[in-house]
Amino acid sequence: MNIEEVRSKTDTELRFDLGNLKKELFDLRFRTATETSTDPSRVNIVKRSVARINTVLHERATGVRGQESR
């Protein structure tokens, strides 16, 4: 998920995606600890997506970059 996709979504959609990504990250970490992961780079991709969503939500909450909550 790139930053343009994140910025085009509403706050509700972002919170929903954030919940799904956090669950996926938990599952990936659990699988990595218990067995060999098929795609270890997926952990980094999901972590970056979570960070992007959190950043955009924070920007909207504080009014940074001229963005209002949607």
- With CA atoms as reference, report the closest residue to 57 among 2, 7, 23, 5: 7
Mind listing the pLDDT tens digit for each residue in 5-48?
999 999 999 999 999 999 999 999 998 888 876 788 999 999 99
Overall pTM surpassing 0.95 (yes/no):
no
- Structure-model confidence comparison of residues 54 and 69, the more confident one: 54
Domain 3-66 classified CATH 2.60.40.1180? no
69: pLDDT strictly greater than 70: no
The residue extents of the domains of the chain are 3-66
Helix, strand and coil percent figures for the chain, each rounded to 5: 80, 0, 20
Assigned token pair, 41? 């780079």
What pLDDT is stored for residue 21 in this prediction?
Answer: 97
What pLDDT is stored for residue 33 in this prediction?
Answer: 87
**Counting beta carbons within 10 angstroms of the beta carbon of residue 49, is it exposed (0 to 12), middle (13 to 18) or buried (19 or more)?**
buried
